[in-house]
Structure 1
Amino acid sequence: MTSRRAFVADHMAVLPYGHNVEALRLFEAELRSRDIDVTTLVCAALPKGIEGAEDYARVLTYPYNGHVEAIRKYRDFPKVAGNKISKLRRLRDKALWMGADAAGLDGMGRRVRANWLEVIKRYGITGTDWIFMPSVDHYGLLCLMQVLQTLPADRRPSVHGRMIGVMESFSYARGAARTRLLTAVRDAQKAGVRVSLSAETPVYQDYLTSVLRQDVGYLTYPCIAPYKPIDWGRRPFQLTSPGQGRADKGYFGLVAISDALKVHFKRGQVMLSTQGMRKDDTYFSRAYEARLAAKIDLNVRAARLSSDEINAMYRHAHVLVLPYARDIYALRGSAVYQEGLAHGRLVVTYDGTGVASMVKRYGNGVCVKDDRALAEAVHQLSQRPAA
């Protein structure tokens, strides 16, 4: 008997950083453990040499040049990503696709729909197959919904999209992109397409359930990590905030957090380890990097670390600190949080975010209102008796 085929697809798995490729690897392994024949589909723009992506089928069209520019060659990263040629190319691409949509041509939509038809034909995808999108993006799911409505019922695969709150809301067209995407899902369902959704966070699940007026699942990373018991008596008390430094992840609040921690900890009693910001990041500031370097209780590591190095940060930590921005992360979760959960680490984060809704669901941390409360929570956790 032939096992059911699953096609795991991600249009945003194009960069040598972030968690898109890692999510594909984890879900691919989980599906294969259930005796499912898996083919992983990524964009042709994903460079060669990315860890864990050697066997991925690079067949999808990348829809977001002009917003997040895909690099052309892995060896050129990061110098290409931030140079003037790349910036000019990004502006050119954005103007091109926005202009096409303004003229009513739906340029990117037409391109992605044509690509989906090619992929469906190439792999002979039919109604017995399943397409799973672990990190839904706007054009990927929207255009798939539109394409499937044009196919006979026996050629329409089942579809499941995991909404993570990142790229669902971007398109080159004017108007609310997420609303347009959810409308396309409802229209496809009415036309008989078998499509279901899940969310990465409880608060996003509640939002989607309310808007769609249907059951929406809750689906986190299938993370498994070896648990290393925490020695609560070990000093300095180790805090960690893995993941590349970004403004929306609270990178520019680290100095204030360091100052708040000094109220509760003497010199050498606490250490916060984090990853630095890429020099090609729009918000990179040499002046701020100098301020971070002057903080003896901050250990700023390289922006890019291997999986082994990041896992070592989790194992060495007492507590994860995730000072994510409330506006950006109102519905979004965090792969870092889920990896920390797999390692059995407690978390301190700001309330009012998707991450906070996960902390409250699992009861594995503290949600606070500001830097002062964050420092107080860390200090209270540091007073736990040693085993």
Structure 2
Amino acid sequence: MAALKNYRHHFSSYFDDALCFGAKYLNDSVAHDSNIKKFFRFYYNDYIPVLAAEEDDFAGVADPCDARRRAAGADLEALIVSLAPGPDDAICFPSVDFYSLEGLVQNIEALKRAGNPKIMLRFIGVMENAAHGFADPLCVALANVRILIANGLNVRLSAETPRYAEMLAVALDAEVVVTPSIEHGSILPLPRHDFIHVICPGSARADKGFFDLESIFSHVRQRDPDLRVRFTTQVLPDKDIVHQQVYHAKLYALPGVTVLPTSVSAEEMAGLYASCDLVLLPYEKETYQFRGSAVLAEAVAYGRPVLTLEGTAFADQVRFFSIGDVLASRSELVEAILSFGATSRATRVARARHARRRYLSDLTSNYRGWVN
């Protein structure tokens, strides 16, 4: 939800107003706090099961894929009728999803009648792939983008990482702007403590290297019994912890390791960044071969360097913007953590400011190009 606030704030530079629309089943307080209008049906309960069966509009239907497709078209048609967009307006999908593309194709003529508003599609490698029943959802999604372009709609394409943008540009034979994650946090002063605090923020998942943390932490601890390096991470959701009790017990048992709940507030997260020196992102290259990292954007905004592994799409951004270091293996991560304390505070501050300026300058320029 915080990401939507960031996008609304950023797009206010280009448009008179920015309205956010989300699923009609959003929690009322979340929708209110983020100023999201509850509108669309939720097409992905089979993919992200958050609704009870009696709430799921597509539970028990004979052809759920077709039902979701038609629902997405009807929902978007209702939105077009409600807003009556014109040629100076834009319909933006900050994280485009499979069924919204289906809905756009169904509303080509309605969009033309509306004056052909900009259709801004941002690919981040997540929900465009979220469709059970299709052997290759992304292939279908890109076919729908080609249909939109071929029918003369004013489609503006972007992707979260340079690698993904290049792949899409070749596949679609179209211009694709690189639009990394937006984060509006202010750079934070470095903490005053006599150790290096390394954090692994965000949801604990296997594809984010969660099950490698115990090995990384323990190897550091063997070389650093005096706790000159300390760690903080979050744990798996409650439904998953029960299956990983031994692993969690090992994490809890390691000296100098703080384990936080799976969910923390925005204020708590900001405090975590304020207390840290270094952000560790040992993400899997297979899952993140095209995807970026919202945590990376947070780290840049708050002025904290990152360590990550070679092979992910956002490793290119770490290297290009000098956000931190990209290592070839987990053993190299351990060495980089242990040697980090040798860098002076003044050097760390200067590097953080340099990386932040480059990242934000590039981001602003690219988003302006996407909009205009």
Distance 1:123 1:168, change over 3 A: same
Q: Does 1:127 align with 2:87?
A: yes
The answer to whether the 8 Å contact 1:67/1:94 transfers is no
Q: Does 1:236 align with 2:187?
A: no
Distance 1:51 1:127, change over 3 A: closer
Aligned to 1:227: 187
Aligned to 1:111: 71
Q: Choose between structure 1 and 2: higher helix proportion.
A: 2
**Structure 2: how far apart are the matches of 1:322 and 1:22?**
21
Tell me the matched-pair count.
345
Letter in 2 for 1:384: T
Q: Normalising by the residue count of structure 2, what TM-score does the alignment of the two structures yield?
A: 0.86
Aligned to 1:100: 63
The answer to whether the 8 Å contact 1:136/1:168 transfers is yes
- Report the alpha carbon displacement of residue 154 of structure 1 after superposing the two structures with TM: 3.8
Q: Does 1:32 align with 2:12?
A: yes
Aligned CA-pair RMSD = 2.4
SS at match of 1:106: helix
Letter in 2 for 1:341: V
Q: Normalising by the residue count of structure 1, what TM-score does the alignment of the two structures yield?
A: 0.83
Deviations 1:247-280 (A, max 9, x none): 2111111111112213542331111111121102
The answer to whether the 8 Å contact 2:281/2:309 transfers is yes
Aligned to 2:332: 373
Letter in 2 for 1:334: S
**Structure 2: how far apart are the matches of 1:153 and 1:49?**
36
Q: Does 1:280 align with 2:239?
A: yes
Distance 1:226 1:300, change over 3 A: same
The answer to whether the 8 Å contact 1:169/1:177 transfers is yes
**Structure 2: how far apart are the matches of 1:248 and 1:175?**
22
Aligned to 2:369: none
The answer to whether the 8 Å contact 2:58/2:67 transfers is no
Among 146, 150, 158, which residue is 1:198 paired with? 158
Deviations 1:198-226 (A, max 9, x none): 11111111211121122100112332322
Gaps of 5+ in 2: 347-372
The answer to whether the 8 Å contact 2:102/2:144 transfers is yes
% same residue: 27
SS at match of 1:23: helix
Counterpart mapping for 1:1-387 below 5 A: 21-50=1-30, 53-71=33-51, 89=53, 96=60, 100=63, 106-149=66-109, 151-230=111-190, 234-281=193-240, 284-387=243-346
Letter in 2 for 1:320: V
**Structure 1: how far apart are the matches of 2:82 and 2:60?**
29
Deviations 1:132-190 (A, max 9, x none): 11111111233223312454444432111111111111213322111111111111111
Deviations 1:353-383 (A, max 9, x none): 1221221221211111222110111122221
Gaps of 5+ in 1: 1-20, 72-85
The answer to whether the 8 Å contact 2:318/2:326 transfers is yes
The answer to whether the 8 Å contact 2:159/2:178 transfers is yes
SS at match of 2:91: strand
